[in-house]
Amino acid sequence: MDDNAADTKKVTSYDDPDAPWNKEFSAEEMTGWNDDVITEFRENGGRVGGDYAGATLLLLTTTGAKSGKPHVVPLGALYRGDVLYVSSFIEDRYPAWYHNAKANPTVTIELGGEKFTAEADVLTGERYDEFAAWALTENPLLAEYQAKVDKPLPLVVLTRAAA
């Protein structure tokens, strides 16, 4: 999150009751949640307000592993130097975007005002272990959450395709 955003409070703990993921929302409020964020993102050159004001989000478009249809999801853009990667908190199973990227690694990224094709590299084995060790050291929210769940968090590196 951007510390300079006037209407945002930096979340420093996964258990922060003001963190978007800890707020209670009705089923009606959740319906279309991502649709609203996606629309706002596209209308404002990658910027959104509300709970995600000041955060660097990207839109990840994957091809459905089963359906073959495009699916768009907003995710936090995370970086290791110049390497762009995504992750997310998980509940009882991995998110659809993760399975889709695994099955069909060619994805579309919208980041700020840019839109580009990328390859999604779903990290596994030793590569996952090394990257996760770094990511969990650098991102206290991911580390705090990982300590609460049994499954390893998804880590996917996104590499821009050559023009």
Domain boundaries, the chain: 56-160
Instruction: Identify the pLDDT of residue 6.
Output: 37
Which residues, 6+ apart, have CB-to-CB distance to 87 below 8 Å? 76, 78, 135, 142, 153, 154, 155, 156
Rg (CA), the chain: 16
The answer on pLDDT for 157 being more than 60 is yes
Residue pLDDT, tens place only, 2-11: 333 333 456 6
Cα angle 93, 95, 100 (rounded to 5 degrees) comes to 125
| C-alpha dist (Å) from residue 44 to 36, 51, 122, 144 | 12, 16, 29, 32
Residue pLDDT, tens place only, 87-106: 988 877 889 999 999 999 99
Domain at 56-160, CATH homologous superfamily = Electron Transport, Fmn-binding Protein; Chain A (2.30.110.10)
Residue pLDDT, tens place only, 13-72: 555 666 555 556 565 555 556 888 899 999 999 999 887 888 899 999 999 999 999 999
pTM summary value: 0.81
Task: State the Cα–Cα distance between residues 79 and 117, nearest whole angstrom.
Answer: 18
Residue pLDDT, tens place only, 104-151: 999 999 999 899 999 999 999 999 999 999 999 998 888 888 898 889
Question: % helix / strand / coil in the chain, to the nearest 5?
Answer: 30, 25, 45
Instruction: Identify the pLDDT of residue 3.
Output: 36
Instruction: Identify the pLDDT of residue 13.
Output: 59
DSSP label at 52? Answer: G
- CA 133, distance to chain mean position in Å, is 18
Closest Cα partner for 121 from 154, 147, 159? 159
